[in-house]
Structure 1
Amino acid sequence: MTITSAMPKAKQRKKRTRTKRVSSLPAIKLSQLPPSHIDLRQPLKAVLVCEYCKTWCPITGMRDKVQKLVPHHRGKAGVADAIRCRGSNRRIEWDLTIPEWHQALTDAVKEASSRQATAVLPKAFSPQTDQALRARAARTPTRRMADWNAVLPHVADADKSRRTVPVGDVPAEGPAVPLTTLHPKRPER
């Protein structure tokens, strides 16, 4: 198919969302946000976390007088009910320079890394546990058989005492113990 001058041509679209609308909410001050919620590494493509929907949103109008969050939805992509987030078109107040933000971010990273353990240290053994573990490691199969043979008479005595029937077959107090198994019958319907 050849292209002729009569063929429709696609209109050049704007690269970014540009609107004159501004949110009625107060401006976001960058100094009041945690430094980890701001990304100013590429100043012309700056992004920050929207405080309402907790998503990363670009800042539009970086070369204009008014910078604001781009309009965005708070729901998931592709959902039928796309609801505009309250933080859309909210103005940004630049009370923080890029070097100040970078310093605040490095300070926050240092503070967070100082709170985290760098190495997991094993719990120290008590002397009794250490002695038991060493004795278990030193046991051989022949030593285990010798230990078992030493315990067998005590086990036989315990079994013998369990098998003895106490004097008298009826408890001193209370009803007689039934000697036949009871099988309850269900009522007929």
Structure 2
Amino acid sequence: MANRKRPGRTRTKRNNRREPLLLSKLDPQDFNVRPGEPKAIACPDCRTWRRIMGNTDLKIREHGISDYVPEDGERAVCPGSNQAVVVDIDIRRWQVWQDRLLRDAMPQENRRSARQHYKPIPAPAPAVVQIAAKSTTEEPGDGRPLWLLREMKWASTATAVHETDTRRAQLPAGDAPLGSPLVPLTTLHPTRPEN
């Protein structure tokens, strides 16, 4: 029972005998009628924020001119107390306007864009098989297939590679460097010793 919200009630049937306040005639920032929040208004006489009491017969809650109460007496009651209030506005449009005011009052770096920007999802990488198959059919700028260019490149370097291998097989003339073991020139075929 402690969490039950009591509706705001008008504590008195009296009013201050003035014409009712029409919310459409007030500045939109001078009242709050958001659904789910306590209704409140800036009193037109003392300019302090006060609760609007009641469900159907809305009135500004009775309040003093200031929060200071003298020691020897009672504080003076504000003439705006018990002022009748009429909600003659479209609350949804008022709320949209209030939200825009709040967003504009916020520093720009704290604002979030109303429109969300999503990064595009990158396309999946092709399989290795697809890459290999694609590379064999590609043709470079001169119109010849890539496999033919590879063969031509291999043919042009094949003779140079063969000459280098032949030179490596030749033994250098002269003595071997001092302190190094002799390198056998014939293939060794070691045999297993018999016990």
> Which of the five TM-score ranges fits, normalised by the shorter chain?
0.3 to 0.5
TM-score, length-scaled by structure 1: 0.45
- Of structures 1 and 2, the larger Rg is shown by 2
TM-score (norm 2): 0.44
